[in-house]
Amino acid sequence: MNTKRSETLFERARLVSPGGVHSPVRAFKSVGGVPRFIQSARGAEIADVDGNSYVDFCMSWGPLILGHADPEVAEAVHKAIDRGWSYGAAEQYSLELAEFITGNLPWVEKIRFVNSGTEAVMSALRVARAATGRSRILKFDGCYHGHADSMLVRSGSGLAEMASPDSAGVSAAVASETLVVPLDDPDALEKAFALHGNTIAAAIVEPVPANNGLLPHREGLLKKLALLSRKNGALLIFDEVITGFRTGFEGMAGISGIKPDLVTYGKIIGGGFPVGAYGGRRDLLDLVAPAGPVYQAGTLSANPVAMTAGLATLKKLFRDKPYEQLSRRTGLLAGLVSGKTGGRIRIQHFSSIFWPVFGDPSSSDGVVHTPAQAPAGQKEAYTSAFHKLLSRGFYLSPSGYEVSFMSTAHTDDHAESLADALVLAAG
């Protein structure tokens, strides 16, 4: 496969940007090789600067549930750009999107738009601390909530200990306000609340962890978390940046039947444009400036183009209800791969999110619930398969511990072709 132009552009990029990219995983560091510089995209396909085409299952890391350049969304965006693409003032487009979301999700009584999932999480944590007068946040090891300082931490050496920094530049003092408990360990969760419950402002969780592989919670874990949070006066925050409007129109809050106090969104609500949002109980959102004392602002927040793209995307999802079809197609992929490899490759999946697992997990039920339960050779096997798939025209997430996505632009033929290619790639 010719990659000369991508190689040249990557060399130039490394001279002017850290690692040559603007988000680390794009550099292919996890899988090695030359990152493809993408030139165009439409439907289920992307094309790079060397003229290579790929069936894309990364889908911009999840926002493009309707595929690339969906015609309805594109039409709305073109009209929005013709009207002007940034106002720095009150406008009706964010109002329409806010009314649509709050009108269809009963646990989102008010919402504030920002520019990224990280910013949404950072702001939700600030609201939680203001509302409770407490400083500590409880999170799960293996869940990712953006790169705000207090979320870039990992658990200490003992059960329910204070966290230690997971990135240079995060101070020990900031990390000390975050409690980290392991996934798939209800006893550790109970111990954390028993030891520190009266100091926890909020517990934050990915209701389907999807940033360190796809790590589904066992039955009852989310309900236990909700119960412990409310019993101890802590707020419950669902981070639905990935799962919101993807696992179903109501996301995991709707599927689980659990009403979070605060919820964070991103990705799909901008239709592929930069966006984030935090919402929830009216009394909590009324703490945010200018209504209340919690300061948060953003020059480009509620960008009218992103709001228009998001509204067009959500209205189409609401109208067409593609979730059953997406889940069936993802299940088709999983069944074909498992059947053709005798279970040597498993596709862990939830709705339209999937993750190839190479080998046998160490868990009792054969499902990877924590990073430690992944097969020992996962990284190496995925790396080998990734490049073989790439050479055959399939683009998955360039990391053995990141998920991929199905969109409405994919067909059963795409799923079947990817299954065949995965079988060949695994040898």
Active site residue 278: no
Query: From the candidates 239, 261, 323, 401, which is the catalytic residue?
Result: 239
Rounded to an integer, what distance in angstroms lies between the CA atom of residue 24 and that of residue 33?
A: 14
Q: In this structure, what token pair is assigned to residue 223?
A: 């309900």
pLDDT per residue of the chain (427 residues) written in tens, 0 to 9: 899 999 999 999 999 999 999 999 999 999 999 999 999 999 999 999 999 999 999 999 999 999 999 999 999 999 999 999 999 999 999 999 999 999 999 999 999 999 999 999 999 999 999 999 999 999 999 899 988 888 887 744 333 344 567 788 887 788 789 999 999 999 999 999 999 999 999 999 999 999 999 999 999 999 999 999 999 999 999 999 999 999 999 999 999 999 999 999 999 999 999 999 999 999 999 999 999 999 999 999 999 999 999 999 999 999 999 999 999 999 999 999 999 999 899 999 999 999 999 999 999 999 999 999 999 999 999 999 999 999 999 999 999 999 999 999 999 999 999 999 999 988 7
Q: Which of 376, 347, 346, 349 is nearest to 362 (CA)?
A: 376
Q: Which of 406, 404, 425 is nearest to 358 (CA)?
A: 425
Polymer length of the chain: 427
Q: Which residues pair with 354 in a beta bridge?
A: 349, 404
pTM for the model stands at: 0.96
Query: From the candidates 54, 144, 382, 401, which is the catalytic residue?
Result: 144
Rounded to an integer, what distance in angstroms lies between the CA atom of residue 185 and that of residue 173?
A: 26
CB 256 within 8 Å of CB 274: no
Q: Which of 357, 366, 370, 367 is nearest to 155 (CA)?
A: 370
Active site residue 261: no
First to last CA, the chain: 20
- Dihedral angle sign, alpha carbons of residues 308, 310, 314, 317: positive
Active site residue 144: yes
Measured CA angle at 303 (ends 300, 304), to 5 deg: 150
Q: Name all domains of the chain by residue range, CATH numbers in brackets.
A: 4-65+322-425 (3.90.1150.10), 71-319 (3.40.640.10)
Give the rounded distance of the alpha carbon of 58 from its chain centre: 12
Query: From the candidates 267, 278, 323, 395, which is the catalytic residue?
Result: 267
